[in-house]
Amino acid sequence: PATTGFDICVYHLAGDECTTAVTANDGGNAFTTVGTPAASDVTSCATGDVFDTWFTYTATCTGTLVISTCDDADFNTSLGVYDACGGTELACNDDATSCSGSTSEVTLSAAVNDVLLIRVSGAGGATGSGNVNITCYPAVLYSQATGDSGDPVWDRVPVGTPGPEAFSRYTSLVIQNGHVITQDLATVEANSFTVESGGSYDMNGANALELEGDLTVDGTFDPSSGIVRLNGSSLQNIAGAATVDVYDLELDNAAGALVLADSVHVYRTLDLLSGDFDANGNEVVLMSDASGTARLGPVDPSASYTGFLRQQRYIPAGVTNWRLLSSPVSPLQLYQWREDFYTAGFPGSHWPTFDQPVGSNILWPSIRTYDETNTGTALTAGLVGPTDI
């Protein structure tokens, strides 16, 4: 019988093997695993993910890499990152908790020009299409000139070329000597935040500064009417050579916060949502002036405060008169008030024998509480002085 010859063409889809990985860039990188041949399941975090596609990526910064299909794929993805074909697995994720549709996200450290291999596959043999989104967040951004926070005044080295940058919880910010930065964004996210000596930062209204790391103020920090949120996952320090002024200060970090600065002044509210706020033997003051008095907000059951907390009470200038005072926390003693203003007319006060009329030996206490059960008609009825401090 006659024989017929056939030419058989065998080809590989680009990216269906590690050795044919497609180049990926920062931003979105489209992919599909539909029609790719089955391969070995090499990821540690998912099973049955035999249909895959590969990317090669060169890191554009030294800092934190976020590689994600989060909410941007139509099937159950898994992600693996490797240092070479057949090399070490650096990161792996099947279903990210913050993503829908069983999509994935990995976070890992990288140095500029690191070459990584990224494998996108479908858990349990799933296939589909989507985008691999890659963002490289630099470890630190340094101010290069005076300007607004959203202006192109940043670079990734202390002495560099001013340019635009995106802020994130992975990137620390440093305001350098001689630069004045004014916040023009509703929210600025950062890892650690530092104002160097000679530098200045103005929160410029009711804006938010959300930190994963430490707050260090060696220069000038104007809180305006903004809020500083400490919402990291490890212990966060409030430090600096200068007094750290804040308007609203919120702690929402189970690992807590530690005061290293000599003094922290709060001008409106200290909110403790989770974690221990440790004054660490330093001065934390709830400030009071003609415009208002700061307060300690409700303390969540998962939060606490350790150390001394000073509460100021503003008294307008003028004639001597009675003032209504109270304490926002307990238990406190009158002795704490004795540390702040002159007392008289009772044992333990500055002038315990102060009497009225003079020479009558009738003590005239300068601090009194009101006894509502006293039915006397005199103006002083029910006003009772302390027996001791």
Question: Would you list the domain boundaries of the chain?
Answer: 18-137, 139-311, 336-389
**Tokens matching residue 54:** 């590969």
At residue 3, the pLDDT reads: 59
pLDDT at residue 147 is higher than 60: yes
pTM of the model: 0.80
At residue 4, the pLDDT reads: 61
Burial class (CB in 10 A: 0-12, 13-18, 19+), 233: exposed
Three-class SS of residue 228? strand
pLDDT at residue 328 is higher than 70: no
pLDDT average, residue stretch 159-167: 96
User: Rg of the chain over CA atoms, in angstroms?
Assistant: 32
pLDDT average, residue stretch 77-81: 97
CATH of span 18-137: 2.60.120.380
Q: For residue 321, how many other CB atoms are within 10 A of its CB?
A: 7
* DSSP symbols for 292-345: EE-EEEEEPTTEEEES--EE-----SSS--------SSSS--HHHHHTTS--BS
At residue 341, the pLDDT reads: 83
At residue 1, the pLDDT reads: 57
pLDDT higher at 279 or 49: 279
Among 3-7, 10-14, 36-40, 212-216, the range scoring the smallest mean pLDDT is: 10-14
Question: Chain-wide mean pLDDT for the chain?
Answer: 92
Would you say 233 and 210 are in contact if contact means Cβ atoms under 8 Å apart? no
Q: Name the pLDDT band for 280 (thresholds 50, 70, 90).
A: very high
Q: For residue 153, how many other CB atoms are within 10 A of its CB?
A: 20
pLDDT at residue 9 is higher than 50: no
pLDDT at residue 6 is higher than 60: no
pLDDT average, residue stretch 166-191: 98
Nearest to 22 by CA among 183, 110, 132: 132
At residue 13, the pLDDT reads: 62
* pLDDT 10s digits, 123-134: 999 999 999 999
* pLDDT 10s digits, 83-136: 999 999 999 999 999 999 999 999 999 999 999 999 999 999 999 999 999 999
At residue 380, the pLDDT reads: 80
pLDDT at residue 41 is higher than 70: yes
